[in-house]
């Protein structure tokens, strides 16, 4: 029953270990069984580490997404940089249209997290500097020659040097938030003394900046803005003339309804193919609609629905310093619409043509009341918006995601 074959190490149970020990007195070999409770802890430690890593990664991703939304709102509030914000939103829908995966639309979230950590960490480091600066200014205002004024001025100089050095060192180490909260000067000096440290850091920074693809987003946004304006200019102009010539206004309303059925999907195809002419290929959009008519209706409905509440923020002009706050709301509403539009085009491109004639016609007819209601609201907003008739040209759902183009 029992074999005389030596027991291999793999045959020993994981919760015990046989250790051969030599008795110092008699020289006998004694087999001891030593319990190893650490073996029980190893899977638990691995699970805890995995959960911790997932938590940190998820937190970093959420922080990056929030930073990305705020960054797009800040860019949208400046006249020329607005094209970067529009280009990113177009790229979101274009990438999803190419891949068909919704998760591919969250572009550059990790990079945004790094930029956000640098901005937030810098803001935290500068808090003591702001306090000392205010104290120095107050002391100088009360008595410039006093000892307190000289002391606060000297403290401001010293703290400024330390703050700048700390910010530079934190960015050198990687720019994460923990680098701003936990300075490690000894480790920094060792990394600076390492051969090739400057070259590696310089190349990493250049690669990071190149990975932002700012030039691509700007050029994509500019062409998307021009293409959208070409489609919207004539019907909006006819709609704006309704006050003087009502029949022309009705014509503009019908033309605008027709344009709205195509424009979101034309822009998604343009971004997917990165080709300006794709914004005018109506036959391609019709072919995609025949493959997923219900999804097209849902996407158009959500796009126009998310755009309607934003007209409330166009009633009164906001101060220039707070222009990014309404832009933040615009980006939050428009971003999901771009995701859904790209996903619709991507899913439709991978489906066969829907042979159900009734479904196609029902989806097509269901679009009519949706676009008709939207056009009616757009027409009425000229009486409530700050810029009056000119506000009709500020189509945030298809152009720049801001309440006022003149910001």
Q: Is the pLDDT of residue 248 over 60?
A: yes
CA distances from 202 to 172, 196, 308 (A): 10, 10, 46
Which tokens hold the place of 137? 């200014």
pLDDT value for 159: 93
Residue-wise burial string across 37-66, b where 16 or more C-beta atoms lie within 10 A, e elsewhere: eeeeeeeeeeeeeeeeeeeeeeebeebbbe
Q: What is the DSSP letter of 20?
A: E
- Number of H helices and number of E strands within the chain? 13, 2
pLDDT level of residue 40 (50, 70, 90 thresholds): very low
Of residues 382, 42, 49, the one with CA closest to residue 239: 382
Write the pLDDT tens digit of every residue in 148-175.
Answer: 888 999 999 999 999 998 898 888 888 8
- For residues 337-366, average pLDDT: 91
CA-to-CA distance for 64 and 67, rounded, in angstroms?
A: 5
pLDDT value for 89: 95
Q: Is the pLDDT of residue 306 over 70?
A: yes
Task: Please list, in sequence order, all residues whose beta carbon lies within 8 angstroms of the beta carbon of residue 33, skipping any fewer than 6 positions away.
Answer: 16, 17, 18
Q: How many Cβ atoms from other residues are within 10 Å of residue 148's Cβ?
A: 14
Write the pLDDT tens digit of every residue in 352-362.
Answer: 887 888 999 99
Q: What is the DSSP letter of 350?
A: T
Q: Is the pLDDT of residue 69 over 80?
A: yes
> Helices 197-211 and 185-193: crossing angle, nearest 10°?
100
pLDDT value for 404: 66
CA-to-CA distance for 338 and 352, rounded, in angstroms?
A: 23
Question: Can you tell me whether residue 30 is helix, strand or coil?
Answer: strand
Backbone torsions φ then ψ of 145, nearest 5 degrees: -95, 5
CA-to-CA distance for 32 and 19, rounded, in angstroms?
A: 5
Radius of gyration from C-alpha coordinates of the chain: 31
DSSP alpha helix (H) spans, 77-108: 82-99
Least confident of 5-9, 100-104, 277-281: 5-9
Bigger pLDDT: 334 vs 27: 334
């Amino acid at each position: 029953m029992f074999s005389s074959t030596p027991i291999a190490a793999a045959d020993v149970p994981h919760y015990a270990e046989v250790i051969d020990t030599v008795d110092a007195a008699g020289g006998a070999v004694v087999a001891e069984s030593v319990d190893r409770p650490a073996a029980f802890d190893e899977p638990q430690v691995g699970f805890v580490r995995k959960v911790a890593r997932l938590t940190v990664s998820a937190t970093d991703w959420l922080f990056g997404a929030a930073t990305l939304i705020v960054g797009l709102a800040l860019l949208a509030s400046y006249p020329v940089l607005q094209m970067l914000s529009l280009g990113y939103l177009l790229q979101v829908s274009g990438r999803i249209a190419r891949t068909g995966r919704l998760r591919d639309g969250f572009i550059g979230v990790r990079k945004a997290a790094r930029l956000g950590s640098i901005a937030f960490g810098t803001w935290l480091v500068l808090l003591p500097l702001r306090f000392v600066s205010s104290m120095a200014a107050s002391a100088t205002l009360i008595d410039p020659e006093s000892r307190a004024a000289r002391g606060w001025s000297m403290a401001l100089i010293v703290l400024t040097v330390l703050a700048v050095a700390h910010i530079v060192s934190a960015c050198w180490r990687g720019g994460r938030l923990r680098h701003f909260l936990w300075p490690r000067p000894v480790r920094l000096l060792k990394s600076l003394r390492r051969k090739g440290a400057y070259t590696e850091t310089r190349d990493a920074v250049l690669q990071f900046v190149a990975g932002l693809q700012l030039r691509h987003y700007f050029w994509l946004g500019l062409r998307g803005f021009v293409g959208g304006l070409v489609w919207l200019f004539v019907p909006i102009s006819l709609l704006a003339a309704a006050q003087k010539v009502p029949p022309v206004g009705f014509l503009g309303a019908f033309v605008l309804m027709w344009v709205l059925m195509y424009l979101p999907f034309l822009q998604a195809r343009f971004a997917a193919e990165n080709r300006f002419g794709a914004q005018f290929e109506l036959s391609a959009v019709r072919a995609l609609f025949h493959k997923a008519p219900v999804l097209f209706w849902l996407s158009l409905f959500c796009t126009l629905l998310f755009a309607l509440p934003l007209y409330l923020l166009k009633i009164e002009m906001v101060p220039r310093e707070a222009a990014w706050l309404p832009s933040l709301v615009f980006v939050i509403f428009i971003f999901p619409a771009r995701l859904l539009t790209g996903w619709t085009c991507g899913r439709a491109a991978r489906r066969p043509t829907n042979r159900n004639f009734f479904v196609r016609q029902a989806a097509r007819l269901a679009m009519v009341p949706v676009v008709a209601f939207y056009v009616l609201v757009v027409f009425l907003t000229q009486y409530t918006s700050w810029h009056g008739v000119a506000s009709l040209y500020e189509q945030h759902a298809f152009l720049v995601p801001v309440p006022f183009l003149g910001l």
